Amino acid sequence: MKKSLPSAKILGLVALGFTTALFAAPASAQDRYRQRPPVMVSPDLTAPWLMQLGEAPRQQAPRYRTAAPRPQYEQPRYYRPQAQQQRAQQSRQYLFPPAPSRAARPARSQQGAQQVAMRRADLPVIQGKVEPQFLPQTVSYETQYPAGTIVIDTNNRFLYLVEGNGQAMRYGVGVGKPGFEWAGEHKVTRKAEWPSWVPPQEMISREAAKGHYLPARMDGGPENPLGARAMYLGSTLYRIHGTNAPWTIGSAVSSGCIRMRNEDVTDLYERVNVGTRVIVI
């Protein structure tokens, strides 16, 4: 048999619960507006909630490694070994001597020819331009012609100035191209320094047909095909002369004239006189 509580206690408990609920409800409603502790943000942004949860921050390695400093290299230096410089200096040879200063230039002669001091004929030329056998040299040469005679061997591209006693001064020459070869005997009838050039009409027409237009006349100078000196042979149009193309020495490229290096023709020019006998074979 269950015991029942007195009605007075029941009413008291009901009243106490109602009062508690009545006064507790407003406090619960305002709880969300009360001031909360500040949010603690970890310096390590990769784990911002660890400190709020009360956990000690973890020590993590940095995400990016600091690049090691690059080694400093010296600026590369470009240089030529001393031996290479010496070889380059030895191979640097010139066809003509350096131009003299204005004060050292000689005055023009009365005939208007330019007086120049040419290099010795035995000096070497630019490597690869003229073969050594075509450089001036004294050689053994047995001949029936007397000393002072010029003998031109067109087949072998040599000019000999007979000195007697079985010797001769030999120079390399360029000769007439195929169809322009000739042989015979003449004398030097005229000499000229830095001669002007007047191409014959036949040459002008012949070259024009090839598309090469020659001037009617060209004054003497380094660009003139006759070069530094000329020795005219008899009454013909043939000459022994210099050239502005020294690399053609030893070849058959002319229109019949005998061409020489400017250094060589200048040396020969000083050795022979008007009236010198010239034999072309």
From the candidates 233, 257, 260, 272, which is the catalytic residue? 257
Q: Strands, DSSP E only, in the chain? A: 137-140, 150-153, 158-164, 167-172, 175-176, 184-193, 229-233, 239-241, 252-254, 258-259, 277-280
Reported residue count of the chain is 281
Find the catalytic residue in 241, 254, 267, 268: 241
Give one word for 211, left, alpha or beta, with left for phi > 0 and alpha for psi -120 to 50: left
Task: Check: CB of residue 145 under 8 Å from CB of residue 264.
Answer: no
How far is Cα 192 from Cα 231, in angstroms, rounded to an integer? 7
Please give the structure tokens belonging to residue 72: 């400093």
Q: Does the annotation count 212 as an active-site position?
A: no
241 is catalytic: yes
Distance of alpha carbon 281 from alpha carbon 41, whole angstroms:
112
**151 contact partners, CB below 8 Å, separation of at least 6:** 143, 145, 159, 160, 162, 168, 279, 281
Which are the catalytic amino acids? 241, 257
